Structure 1
């Protein structure tokens, strides 16, 4: 059972492989671009969540949580992926349009986060595992607090949004946490939430909150956070997921491919693996989020410490 992060003296592992793949497969450059149809996905998912919130306003409470777990969580997770696409400028060429798209996608997600995510997520790509710059990297106190108990890991997943909210605070020396767009995100989000509470009442509001927490928490979808960078396959830092949920999660499971080529939109990520299969077929990967969820909860060899940390920033 690990009691500290695995330490690496190397820079993040993707840049070197990207250069090698491009050298061997220059045709991959043709995949770089944007997918404006992602904006339609945002509109459809926001509309779905609002429609469900409306129709669930008079049902029994247990239906609220069932609908949130079985439907709302998937819609919210897809919206998170859309916000991720916005952070990489992969929907529109215009940066402002991507920011606005992210704010719209944020609406059913209850808490304002899209603008902040745009700021710190790109640091994760450049400085993977560097605690001061990678908001995906757990705190050391976070790993100590959760330890390796089943209940602790379950609570960690359930309240994962809280931990994720705290991590960017350690990056204030590197990025500006608050600016004009952050204020816009907050005003729009809290105005939307106030409207839901005023016109819909408790049940639509709880449905959105429950959908949000399930979408990135104690749910098979929450296993995505384990899949991406936890050390489930030896010392391999990044793992992809090649399972059926990629069809509704916009190929977010193709995580090695995304880190190697972050300028390729979600709909073309499988083509990277097809073109350069020799670089990906031998890598450890996952095919089931449900199996991975239970593996994380019950395997004492996996804890919050099962991550690679580094201080070398590289270039």
Structure 2
């Protein structure tokens, strides 16, 4: 198969080096995923980093502070929902609170659930699973139990078509290959991430799914009963805005969309494959458990948010030459407006190499 890749212009990322080996393709031919036959890059990177810097392994482990941050954010959302219980949802106070407080809070709990899915909140796995139900409460809809198994497959089978449900489908590529389509995707991308897995790869339901639904339903019922439907609407508005045209929602795009002309900087198999994971080191990380350190996270998925930046500090030669996203808001704007950037800017592979081995 002829390998294709996104041949895109520079946007929110720094320019490539002049000597970078880049395939200059006609734009019309570049609007397809880049198909590769190499394994996902993070398993080999992890081995190389540990060989050069074995001290990085000491960073693994959970972070007790996580639960306190989650409880504070949940309490803040409950406070806002209570204060807005008598306010019309179309009122500017309701909408601005949802955008400037609620969306940041719910993006925080989204990524708290991400931390908990890696068992980084508590020592015991079951405590992480149960506490994720609490983090899930302000979202309004149960999803923490479903998120974890799909996210684990994203790590194990990154880029594998039919396994990694973080990847856009071919239908999305065709239907959203224009400015309006991309704007629609960015506005409603939370729904794409929520419903795409059901169509791509259905995983079995467990008792955790049942209890997640039960706990969330009881919470929602109590909110409507004692505070009213407007408070419930506030939670849903917060979730929608957190996954829409919001600064923190840029992490969905910055993590794996290659909007540069950069190839993977490494020796050996896969050296000609475009980069497929990127990091963001900006100030918004403080609100979202350092989720911007995404290359580092895929290299070491069991290092908690308070120590993930240390990975880059201990092994700078593995990270300093990789372009990073400078702005989450900027990458949303670039993704929508740049005709050379789109759903196709993802690396896909056919074979399911298991990165956990």
Aligned residue in 2 for 1:290 = 329
Aligned equivalent of 1:249, options 250, 266, 288 = 288
Tell me if structure 2 keeps the 8 A contact 1:68–1:207: yes
Secondary structure of 1:190 counterpart = helix
Match of 1:155 among 184, 195, 201: 184
In the TM superposition, what is the alpha-carbon distance from 1:293 to its structure 2 partner? Answer: 1.5
Residue aligned with 1:229, SS: coil
Higher helix share: 1
Q: Structure 2 length normalisation: TM-score? A: 0.84
Given the alignment of the two structures, is residue 308 of structure 1 paired with residue 347 of structure 2, yes or no? yes
Give 2:214's aligned residue. Answer: 187
Structure 2 counterpart of 1:15, from 43, 63, 66 = 43
Determine if contact 1:64/1:203 at 8 Å carries over to the other structure: no
- Farther off after superposition, 253-262 or 152-161: 152-161
Q: Is 1:204 equivalent to 2:231 in the alignment?
A: yes
- Counterpart in the other structure of 2:10: none
My pick for the range that moved more, 139-148 or 35-44, is 139-148
Structure whose alpha-carbon radius of gyration is higher: 2
Q: Distance in 1 between matches of 2:247 and 2:34?
A: 26
- In the alignment, structure 2 segments of 5+ residues that lack a partner are 1-26, 262-273
CA contact (8 A) 1:148 1:302 kept: no
Asked whether the equivalents of residues 69 and 214 of structure 1 are also in contact (C-alpha less than 8 Å), the reply is yes
1:144 to 174, 183, 192: 174
**d(CA) in 1 for partners of 2:221 and 2:169?**
33
Q: Please give the TM-score of this superposition, normalised by the length of structure 1.
A: 0.95
Among residues 237, 240, 243, which one is paired with 1:213 in the alignment?
A: 240
State the aligned residue count.
311
Query: SS of the residue aligned with 2:32?
Result: coil
Partner of 2:113: 83
- Cross-structure match for 1:48: 76
CA drift of 1:199 comes to: 2.0
Give the Cα separation in 1 of the matches to 2:197 and 2:218.
24
Report the equivalent of 1:109. Answer: 139
Q: CA deviation at 1:296?
A: 1.1
Distance 1:36 1:121 in 2: 22
Structure 2 Cα separation of the partners of residues 304 and 199 of structure 1: 43
Contact 1:236–1:284 (8 Å) recurs in 2 = no
Q: Distance in 1 between matches of 2:187 and 2:330?
A: 17
Match for 1:95 among 115, 125, 128? 125
Contact kept, 8 Å, 1:12 with 1:127, in 2: the verdict is yes
1:260 is aligned to 2:290 = no
How far apart are the structure 2 equivalents of 1:246 and 1:267? 11
Instruction: Note the alpha carbon deviations across 1:85-106, whole angstroms, 9 max, x for none.
Output: 1111111121110001111100
Deviations 1:104-148 (A, max 9, x none): 100001111101111110110111111211121111112212112
